[in-house]
A and B are shown apart, each in its own frame.
Chain A
């Protein structure tokens, strides 16, 4: 099986802190990987490295066989955890902006996604609610025919209905020739979409594996395993 992301012994140090420490992780082609962990566990740093926005201190990172840089940016569709769109643009203009930047941007798919998300191209970004901005951003990100989708907290600010619209768009658009890595705090809502999960704690991978395998071996949901891993063990009735 082809591997789209290959991370070995990755460490990222900032002047006073170590954000990632000896991380080794693989993402096979066609898989959706859940990157889980509390705030400050290193998820965003890892995703920014994959997006080519932060450079590693040591270790190797390969995206489709290439170290992150200009070439991989053409293959990686990245959703940052904060709004990256200009407020003065309309949704449609943001689409044109993306089309200029990325050759893999599919305008037709963008229009279809806007319909699914119940957005119109003429709406100004600045006039949208937080949830609607999220949906517009996700429409842009999914309109690229990328090799790798890196989504940092794609469900923040979405109401339950919008969340199911986004999940539906995600399933409808997911292809066997790409991979997706996404971080989320809404483990229970999204865990059925993960092929694999990786739990980060203090910049280290403390547990990783096939989601179904983990369920079977531990007789627990991914969300319950999350609580166990991070020490908020609930008293469960036997």
Chain B
């Protein structure tokens, strides 16, 4: 697993889980891997995975049932919310990048629309 060591690892694990939820790899009500299994999979400290799970729970994405495991919470709405959240992050990053190059709002949206149009052709 490729992480950026310049940013907190737990936040990147949170993103990884959210991404799995967004693309349907983890379904609503589905079980997350155990802390230890995920730690072995992505090769990090189990405490870091634990922290990511706790934060995800605090933000309402997952629920932990004692002795049973951690599950993606609720319904399809959760999945939509996660997807929208991730999409927002990507859009923000795009806008910030464009602004740093000196582009204005109009050009930023036109170029995004053009690129999207090119992609579908």
Main secondary structure of the interface of A (DSSP, over half): helix
Contacts of A191 in B (CB 8 A): 5
Q: Complex: how many Å from CA A124 to CA B39?
A: 33
A31-B47 contact, Cβ under 8 Å, with A168-B40, A171-B39, A172-B36: yes
Complex contact B43–A164 (CB within 8 A) = yes
Complex contact A193–B44 (CB within 8 A) = yes
Q: Complex: how many Å from CA A5 to CA B9?
A: 25
A170 CB, nearest partner CB in chain B, Å = 9
Complex contact B9–A192 (CB within 8 A) = yes
Q: Which of A70-78, A150-158, A221-229 is near enough to bind chain B?
A: A221-229
Complex contact B39–A212 (CB within 8 A) = no
A237 CB, nearest partner CB in chain B, Å = 13
Interface size class of A (residues with CB under 8 A): 20 to 34
Q: Complex: how many Å from CA A164 to CA B44?
A: 11
Contacts of B8 in A (CB 8 A): 212, 215-216
A196-238 interface with B by 8 A CB criterion: 212, 215-216, 219-224
A194-B6 contact, Cβ under 8 Å, with A168-B40, A171-B36, A172-B36: no
Q: Complex: how many Å from CA A185 to CA B59?
A: 37
A188 at interface, CB cutoff 8 A: yes
Interface residues of B (CB under 8 A from A): 3, 5-10, 36, 39-40, 43-48, 51
Q: Can you list 12 A-B pairs with a CB-CB distance of less than 8 A?
A: A31-B47, A164-B43, A171-B36, A171-B39, A171-B43, A171-B45, A171-B46, A172-B40, A192-B3, A195-B47, A212-B48, A220-B6
Interface residues of A (CB under 8 A from B): 30-32, 164, 167-168, 171-172, 174, 188, 191-195, 212, 215-216, 219-224
